[in-house]
């Protein structure tokens, strides 16, 4: 994995994508090292907020040295980010975490890519890189289906909404069952209830599954142990059945974590 570093990035553009959700493109050399499922830590300019905010990578273009991030305003830090203007300079740390093992998808295999809510953005770069047939299942609260058009360029997109306004009523697994979908490997990112359901579905169906755990992080580099999850194996760092989501993850093989 590439060595992480702190770097100044330039805001190229930012727009409101859906209520409370912003779409931003950064100019940074870190784009050359980014893998699907990894994230960056973004530092607020307000010095009263000491810790950077982790934001997943939506797209990475190494040739142009651009990173696209899509984030939801959830507190003071991201509220500050929503006011970024073109040309502004910000400090970021990256690239962080272990991403999806997309190269493990063998020829002829079908990948099921599942994203729920603000867990959808990391699925875009993953969809671009996974070769062969893929089914992309997206879950939203309502009909504001952000990134849908982007993802439709890279595979068959199946939708679910909690209010039933678009696609299947319910979550991504409701869409999987309703549409009779199956595959050889699952990649998923979304809220914890969705990931628990995906883990159970994968176990019942005998499908390999990799899940990206959304978790509040503090340092983002594994020092504070503020974002841990229980695991089957003993962690070499803490010598207990736990893993640090920010460094050991955020992507894990589903059956290896207790969620």
CA distance 66 to 60: 6
User: pTM, whole model, 2 decimals?
Assistant: 0.90
Q: Of 70, 245, 44, give the one whose Cα is nearest residue 147.
A: 70
Question: Which class is 215-259 in CATH?
Answer: mainly beta
Query: Domain 102-213 belongs to what architecture?
Result: 3-Layer(aba) Sandwich (3.40)
Q: How does pLDDT run across 102-138, given as a tens digit for each residue?
A: 999 999 999 999 999 999 999 999 999 999 999 999 9
- Fold match between domain 5-96 and domain 215-259: no
Half-sphere exposure of residue 199: CA atoms within 13 angstroms, side-chain side: 20
35: pLDDT confidence band, cut at 50, 70 and 90? very high
What single string gives the DSSP state of each residue in 116-177?
A: EGGGSHHHHHHHHH--S-EEEEEEESSS--TTHHHHTTSSEEEEEETTSSSSEES-HHHHHH
Q: How does pLDDT run across 214-250, given as a tens digit for each residue?
A: 655 444 455 444 555 556 555 566 555 556 555 666 8
Q: How does pLDDT run across 140-158, given as a tens digit for each residue?
A: 999 999 999 999 999 999 9
Would you kindly state where each structural domain of the chain is located, as residue ranges? 5-96, 102-213, 215-259
CATH superfamily of 5-96: Translation factors (2.40.30.10)
Cβ partners under 8 Å of residue 108, min gap 6 = 132
CA distance 12 to 61: 13
213: pLDDT confidence band, cut at 50, 70 and 90? confident
């Amino acid at each position: 994995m590439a060595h992480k570093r702190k770097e100044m990035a330039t805001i190229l553009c930012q727009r409101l994508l859906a209520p409370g959700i912003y779409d931003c493109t950064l100019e940074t050399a870190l784009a050359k090292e980014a893998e699907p499922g990894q994230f960056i830590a973004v530092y607020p300019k307000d010095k009263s907020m000491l810790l950077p905010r982790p934001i997943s990578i939506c797209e990475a273009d190494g040739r142009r040295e651009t990173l696209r991030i899509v984030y939801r305003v959830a507190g003071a830090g991201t509220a500050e980010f929503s006011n970024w203007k073109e040309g502004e300079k910000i400090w970021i740390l990256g690239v962080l975490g272990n991403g999806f093992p997309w190269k493990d998808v063998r020829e002829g295999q079908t990948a099921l890519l599942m994203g729920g809510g603000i867990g959808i953005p990391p699925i875009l770069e993953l969809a671009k890189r996974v070769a062969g047939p893929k089914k992309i299942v997206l879950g939203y609260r309502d009909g504001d289906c952000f990134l849908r058009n982007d993802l439709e360029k890279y595979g068959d997109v199946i939708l679910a909404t909690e209010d039933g306004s678009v696609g299947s009523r319910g979550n991504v697994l409701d869409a999987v069952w309703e549409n009779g979908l199956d595959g050889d490997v699952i990649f998923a990112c979304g809220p914890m209830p969705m990931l628990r359901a995906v883990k159970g579905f994968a176990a019942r169906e005998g499908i390999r599954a990799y899940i990206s755990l959304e978790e509040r992080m503090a340092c983002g580099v594994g020092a504070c142990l503020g974002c841990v999850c229980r695991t089957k194996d003993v962690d070499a760092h803490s010598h207990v059945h736990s893993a640090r989501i920010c460094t050991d993850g955020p992507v894990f093989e589903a059956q290896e974590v207790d969620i």
